[in-house]
A and B are shown apart, each in its own frame.
Chain A
Amino acid sequence: MKFIKLFILLLAVFSPLYALAEKAKTIEELAAMYDSTRCKECHAEIYARWENSHHARSLMGVQDGLMMTPLAIKGATPFSPDDPGKATLKTFPCFKCHLPQALVAADDVFAADYAKALVAQDKARVSKLRITCIVCHNTKAIIHKLSEGKPEAGVLYGSKDVASHDDEFFKKIKKGSIMDHAIMCGQCHGLGPNLEFENPVQCATLYGSYEHNYLSKGGQQQCQECHMQKVDGFADHLIAPNWNDLEGTKKILQDTIAMDVQTVGYEWLLKSKDLKPLVVVNTKINQNAGHRIPDG
């Protein structure tokens, strides 16, 4: 049995992603199927920035809080199963964005394994599941599936066509239609309540804010222009802010939000012969982001 499991794992690591008919049943199997470690051989700068990003710990929450834990605990949410061993993919609506590969490459046995890891607060295992290079540059790269087809096996999607890509599986790069558009991010950094589930859930609503309250006021920048500005010549895959880096996040917030304070002290003549000692503080706060702050 151990040999079979090892064989499946090795197959997952070394075989073409989409050639696998077998769906992942454990955290380790799914992590191996979408592992992007080899990308850093040629894209070290980009990979290093991504490794510190929230995309690289999409199930860990802000400051490693394992935010999906309530979903695995009986009675904590409408989705929670009686027992973590009975969890299914439907138990975790958050997979839609926090682990989209689970919906195409894992089955209910995986969901139960993940639920047990949450109950055990096993951060070492949960942290293996990430929004890797493959997720954005393949799985989520095409939204016009009727017009363009589904993402092709063996193809990564980027900002330009590359005829030959030096990788054992992804041998070609195609220019993606939406890679430089806000909607690429908007697929997950959302519009509002997700009504497709049997109970609605509402997480990030940044893209809704961007669409309805930034563009409407004349803003014209895409998410990538602020959050993926070039660092050392490469689009910044940290995609800041990184909430685990408080100093870095503070700098971003200070660059984005400005506060003006005006004060005056005087004696206010509220009525005849009745001077009131009064201090007035006026504050004005502006922000220059393309969305509300804070969101969610």
Chain B
Amino acid sequence: MVLEVTAKTADGKEVYNTERHYHTQATDCRTNKMLYGAQVKTQYIRDTSLQPYETKAETFEILLPQGVRTVDVTVSLRYEINKPDNFIEIAKVQRKVSLDR
């Protein structure tokens, strides 16, 4: 599962992009290389998945480039199936955020 945050200027120029990845991660315990595939995985070495009754909270601080005072922020939460370009978008939130009142 991937949480992606992007910020773009009014003319579409991307000024920020980052991702958080939520999933179990395993090796075969013989090297430190992460592996996919039940036939070779032996043990989880890290688990960033969403847990029951827990809130996954993140804060993203976006320093805007000189002269940019308004951005379009997009937050997308996706469930990837086997590969990054094969996914289900669970939620997508778009906001215009300005420094001016």
Chain A interface residues (CB < 8 Å from chain B): 62-63, 65, 67, 70-71, 77-79, 93-94, 192-193, 200-203, 205, 209, 213-214, 217-219, 243, 246, 249-250, 253-254, 257-259, 261, 263-267, 276-296
B41 touches A294 (CB 8 A): no
Q: How far is the CB of B68 from chain A (nearest CB, A)?
A: 7
Chain B 25-68 per-residue mask, 1 if CB under 8 angstroms from chain A, else 0: 01000000000011111111001011111111111111110001
Q: How far is the CB of A88 from chain B (nearest CB, A)?
A: 15
CB contact under 8 A between A70 and B81, given known A259-B90, A266-B99 = no
Interface centre among A205, A258, A280, A285, by most chain B C-beta atoms within 10 angstroms, is A285
CB contact under 8 A between A202 and B26, given known A243-B81, A281-B59, A287-B50 = yes
B39 touches A71 (CB 8 A): yes
CB-CB < 8 A to A78: which residues of B? 39-40
**The one of A267, A278, A296 that contacts B61, using a Cβ cutoff of 8 Å:** A278
Provide the bound-state CA to CA distance between A282 and B5, in Å. 10
Provide the bound-state CA to CA distance between A283 and B19, in Å. 12
Could you give 26 example pairs across A and B, Cβ below 8 Å? A77-B37, A77-B39, A193-B42, A201-B39, A201-B42, A202-B43, A205-B44, A209-B52, A218-B53, A219-B52, A246-B88, A257-B50, A259-B93, A263-B97, A265-B97, A277-B99, A279-B7, A279-B62, A281-B62, A282-B57, A283-B3, A285-B3, A290-B52, A292-B24, A292-B49, A294-B23
Provide the bound-state CA to CA distance between A272 and B47, in Å. 41
**The one of B40, B55, B60 that contacts A281, using a Cβ cutoff of 8 Å:** B60
CB-CB < 8 A to B86: which residues of A? 63
Provide the bound-state CA to CA distance between A265 and B64, in Å. 10
B63 touches A276 (CB 8 A): yes
A65 touches B82 (CB 8 A): yes
Chain B 67-101 per-residue mask, 1 if CB under 8 angstroms from chain A, else 0: 01111010101010110001011110101011100
Provide the bound-state CA to CA distance between A267 and B101, in Å. 12
Extra pairs beyond A63-B82, A285-B50 (11, CB < 8 Å): A78-B39, A201-B38, A201-B39, A214-B53, A265-B99, A278-B63, A279-B71, A284-B57, A288-B52, A293-B50, A294-B22
**The one of A79, A277, A292 that contacts B63, using a Cβ cutoff of 8 Å:** A277
CB-CB < 8 A to A277: which residues of B? 63-64, 68-69, 99
How many residues from B make CB contacts under 8 Å with A?
53
CB-CB < 8 A to B51: which residues of A? 209, 213, 287, 292
CB-CB < 8 A to B82: which residues of A? 62-63, 65
CB-CB < 8 A to B24: which residues of A? 205, 292, 294-296
CB-CB < 8 A to A278: which residues of B? 61-64
Provide the bound-state CA to CA distance between A218 and B52, in Å. 10
Closest to A218 in B: B53
**The one of A65, A202, A257 that contacts B41, using a Cβ cutoff of 8 Å:** A202
A282 touches B69 (CB 8 A): no
CB contact under 8 A between A281 and B5, given known A219-B53, A259-B91 = yes
Provide the bound-state CA to CA distance between A70 and B54, in Å. 36
B91 touches A292 (CB 8 A): no
CB-CB < 8 A to A258: which residues of B? 91
B52 touches A70 (CB 8 A): no
